[in-house]
Amino acid sequence: MRPARLSRLWLGAGVIAVAIAFALGLALGPVNLPLSTVLDALAGNGNERDIAIVTQIRLPRVLLGLMVGAMLALAGGCFQGVFRNPLADPYLLGVAAGAGLGATVAIGMRSDQLLVPAAAFTGAIAAVIATYALGRGKNLILAGVAVSAFAAAVQTYLLQRNVDTIREVYSWLLGRLATNGYHEVKLLLPYAIVTSVVVLAMRRELDVLSVGDAEASGLGLHPQRSRMILLAAAALGTAAAVAVSGLIGFVGIVVPHIVRLLAGGSYRQILPLSLLFGAAFLALADLVARTLISPGELPIGVVTAFFGAPFFVLVLRTTKGVSL
């Protein structure tokens, strides 16, 4: 009974963390609002200014932060389970490099800003497909490194040919949760639902895969098929998140590791808790990004790197016998 009680305890903690991040994200900003005012605005009461601030500016941004954080942390936990490698993260299959190249092409062509997420998503998916084709299900990490290096080289060439777009491209690469109403939320939502349903439904299979392919096959599992489905779902969610938010690092490493330390090593707990705590972590990081130097704003990737980089170094120093 102890694991079940622990699961309920941490599940409740995750839900509370999301609720706190949601409430603070709506209440705090350049104009701080009492929670009573926030509730009134959500109900459509109060003055027009408060309603506009809460429902048209802050609510879509907070929702986007929750969804992006959930996707990156869930994908990170999934990749670590599939590769049995605690240093794996959502960008190892070339997703980040492909998305960056797609966004660079769109920005360099002076495309409409609404087309940049579509170009980033296309580039991310193309990079994942190339990684799968090169790795042929075996050396996926090395194939991802090769694809990332190629995409980065092409991106550097394009930036040199379009120097006037460097500032805008690097702003996207550092990560951002700036929203155009609910457009980005609607773009990400269907992919987030598909990724969450598939990965969470298969979380027990990750526990079985952790004992080895031979044992998993003996228990009636098809290891390669399960891995491909999990990788495809996690890559899809990551690509969609990167497309609407730019490159936000360390969420996929930091959150699953903290969950593993607190709640144990079973993926039946790691994955749902990573989704919840990842959502809360990024929403709070975005709150720091937009209030720390108000009225200015930090790139959210800088905030996550500030907290994530030292943690990554700690993990790297304490992890033995694992290599990418």
| CA distances to 101, 123, 282 from 25, in Å | 31, 31, 11
| CA distances to 83, 162, 282 from 62, in Å | 32, 33, 9
**Which residue did the predictor score with more confidence, 290 or 90?**
290
The per-residue pLDDT for 57 is 92
Indicate whether 184 pLDDT > 70.
Answer: yes
The per-residue pLDDT for 310 is 85
Closest CA to 236 of 126, 84, 134: 126
- Domain residues of the chain, as ranges? 2-20+62-318
The tens digit of pLDDT for each residue in 59-100 reads: 999 999 999 999 999 999 999 898 887 777 888 788 888 988
CB atoms within 10 A of CB 268: 16
Mean pLDDT over 280-284 rounds to 97
pLDDT-based confidence at residue 111 (cuts at 50, 70, 90): low
Helical axes 35-42 vs 2-27, angle rounded to 10°: 90
Highest mean pLDDT among 17-21, 102-106, 132-136: 17-21
| CA distances to 23, 29, 37, 52, 63 from 47, in Å | 19, 18, 9, 9, 23
The tens digit of pLDDT for each residue in 189-209 reads: 999 999 999 999 999 999 888
The tens digit of pLDDT for each residue in 149-170 reads: 999 999 989 888 888 888 888 8
Indicate whether 130 pLDDT > 50.
Answer: yes
List Cβ neighbours of 297 (8 Å cut-off, separation of 6 or more). 289, 290
**Which residue did the predictor score with more confidence, 106 or 23?**
23
The tens digit of pLDDT for each residue in 242-269 reads: 888 988 988 998 999 999 988 888 999 9
**Which residue did the predictor score with more confidence, 179 or 113?**
179
**Fold of domain 2-20+62-318:** ABC transporter involved in vitamin B12 uptake, BtuC (1.10.3470)
Indicate whether 139 pLDDT > 90.
Answer: no
The per-residue pLDDT for 138 is 64
Q: What is the pTM of this model?
A: 0.90
The tens digit of pLDDT for each residue in 39-67 reads: 999 998 889 999 999 999 999 999 999 99
pLDDT-based confidence at residue 324 (cuts at 50, 70, 90): very low
The per-residue pLDDT for 3 is 46
Indicate whether 2 pLDDT > 50.
Answer: no
CA distance 156 to 150: 10
Indicate whether 237 pLDDT > 70.
Answer: yes
DSSP one-letter code for 163: G
Indicate whether 132 pLDDT > 70.
Answer: yes
List Cβ neighbours of 159 (8 Å cut-off, separation of 6 or more). 104, 108, 165, 166, 169
The per-residue pLDDT for 268 is 92
The per-residue pLDDT for 136 is 72
